[in-house]
Structure 1
Amino acid sequence: MTTTAPESGKPRRVRRGSVIGNTGLYVATGVAALLFLIPFYLIVRNALMTDPEITGENWKWLPSHIQWGNVSELFHDETVDFGRSLWNSTVVAVLMTVGTLLICSLAGYGLARIPYKHANKVFYAVLVTLMIPTAVTFVPSFVLVSSLGWVDSYRGLIIPGLFSGFTCFLFRQYYLGFPKELEEAARVDGLSHWSAYWRVVVPNSLNFFAAMATITFISGWNAFLWPLVIGQDPSAWTVQVALSSYMTNQTVNYHLIFMATAISILPLVFVFLFLQRWLVQGVARTGIKG
């Protein structure tokens, strides 16, 4: 297969294998994207249907009549205050993200940059926490939170999850590869470790902070088990707990479940679309390879 080069006018050969390979790549990517979008299509489709249409024997690609009233029914449901649950999830996810980034970035910077003879031992202790199953610490954490009177409060939902050993590990790996010249110049100008961190390191690490913020926000928004135990009063429910309440032993409100699901994933979609490029770049800069 030959084509004409635009500048020289001479024929230029194009390998047939590369064309076939690129076509196969595009087809595989398109199929993967289609499979990825199927769950979102089903959520939106069912959210705008009635229960008889969702559970009917005859499959319908689209609702016969779009049920926009499902949105109003969801937010006016007296059994579940979904608007309050959205607010609770927003507060928990945002504060957890800010607190986790602050604590873990300081811990990671200290382990990577501040000279201390026991730094490696502390780092290994942090790594050991990653090997402890969550189920082992769940009951002691609940007993501690309950004794402090933090049940049904934002403190009980947020504070126990502020430190993440994995996030601390990623920050340490990132700071090990951070240019030392910038910090040395700051030290020459008389800045302390604290000032160098805030005035030099953080402003030059915003891409990585955005990546970690995306991961932490999604994790905080999707948390279910801990908010289920701590948020015993309906006023303290998060979105994930509220979703579970639409499915009981007596009834299953399919249209409300799917409508609530569609609304609850919108913040995650916006956050991911806005920060996706920093998410890939940030993880690539942690030093983890292979």
Structure 2
Amino acid sequence: MTSIRKASPLRWTYLIFVWAIILFVLVPLATTIWVAFFSNKILSFPPEGYSGTWFVQAWSLDAFRSGFFLSFQVAVSASVLALCLGVPAALAIGRYKFRGREFINTVLMSPLMIPAIVAGSAIYLFYIELQIWSDVQFASTVYGLTLAHALIAIPWVLRLLVASLAGLDPAIEEASLSLGATRLTTFFRITLPLIRPGITAGVLFGFIASFGDLEKSLLLVGPGRITLPIAMLNYLEYRTDPTIMAVATIQVLIIAIALIISDRYVRLGRTF
């Protein structure tokens, strides 16, 4: 009984700490969504009323509209490219032991550890040197930006696929091979369907990471083109009306949908 009484204050302290962190994360998001519906032309509290006109205003601005389409295009392309590179890498790292395995895994996961502005600067300088050497332009092009964003997406695809492979019994693949199936047939008929949830979650996480990226895009986007995060940053330099909150609300909604779908396929709490 004494031990329960002693543990009770500690438990309450832990719960308060957890809820404080949850509120610290959720309150800014909730405030952003709330402010997006203010009718005030200048951000102020309390609101004069509520309106949805700021969403229409945001869509009517070419910077937000073109920025959204470019961000969506680059995020989808980068996710697909990361999938093409991440699946073979995950199979090699998750299924085989070879010299340099940990080094390759560290290199592929490094975009999560290197500051984004440092990585963006390095990629930009590399593109410039590559253009001087080969006369092929990568800097300030859509495909150059897509390649850079693929580096952001690869760690998520790799991490989720390796986690999926860890939960897959190798005996199932061995049984397929022992029954006469080739390795290629075994991959497409056995392995691929079993790791499909991890592939789906990895692609969606890669999309989220690319869609919300600002630092790399600032350095690599071409003239006359802007991504949605850059359009939002430019807008904030001159105006403070709820239009920016409406854009942020749409961005949060898209990312939330992707996270919900990802969690449907892979229990993210178990993965991370």
Question: Under TM normalisation by the shorter chain, which class is it?
Answer: 0.7 to 0.9
Q: Which runs of 5+ in 2 are unaligned?
A: none
- 1:104 is aligned, of 78, 86, 102, to 86
| 1:157 and 2:178 correspond | no
Q: Kindly state the Cα deviation for residue 209 of structure 1 after the two structures are TM-superposed.
A: 2.2
Structure 1: how far apart are the matches of 2:246 and 2:159? 38
Distance change >3 Å, CA 200–CA 282, structure 1 → 2? farther
3-state SS of paired residue (1:254): coil
Matched to 2:94, the amino acid is A
Structure 2 residue aligned with 1:8 = none
Partners of 1:127 and 1:165 within 8 A in 2: no
Query: Highest Rg: 1 or 2?
Result: 1
Partners of 1:127 and 1:169 within 8 A in 2: no
Matched to 1:157, the amino acid is L
3-state SS of paired residue (1:162): helix
Offset from partner CA, 1:102-143 (integer Å, 9 cap, x none): 31121121233357xxx2314324315626665655444213
Q: For 1:239-254, list aligned pairs within 5 A.
A: 239-248=228-237, 251-254=238-241
Structure 2: how far apart are the matches of 1:172 and 1:113? 9
How many residues align? The count is: 258
Partners of 2:121 and 2:216 within 8 A in 1: no
Offset from partner CA, 1:248-281 (integer Å, 9 cap, x none): 2xx23332221211122221011112322434x3
| 1:81 and 2:71 correspond | no
Matched to 1:81, the amino acid is A
Structure 2: how far apart are the matches of 1:75 and 1:44? 16
TM-score of the superposition, structure 2-length normalised? Answer: 0.76
Structure 1 residue aligned with 2:223 = 233
Structure 1: how far apart are the matches of 2:163 and 2:55? 45
Structure 1: how far apart are the matches of 2:120 and 2:16? 46
Structure with more of its chain in helix, by fraction: 2
Q: For 1:126-141, list aligned pairs within 5 A.
A: 126-128=105-107, 130=110, 137-141=119-123
- 1:208 is aligned, of 195, 198, 213, to 198
Q: Which runs of 5+ in 1 are unaligned?
A: 1-14
Offset from partner CA, 1:151-179 (integer Å, 9 cap, x none): 34331111234353565355445435521
TM-score of the superposition, structure 1-length normalised? Answer: 0.72
Structure 2: how far apart are the matches of 1:29 and 1:252? 36
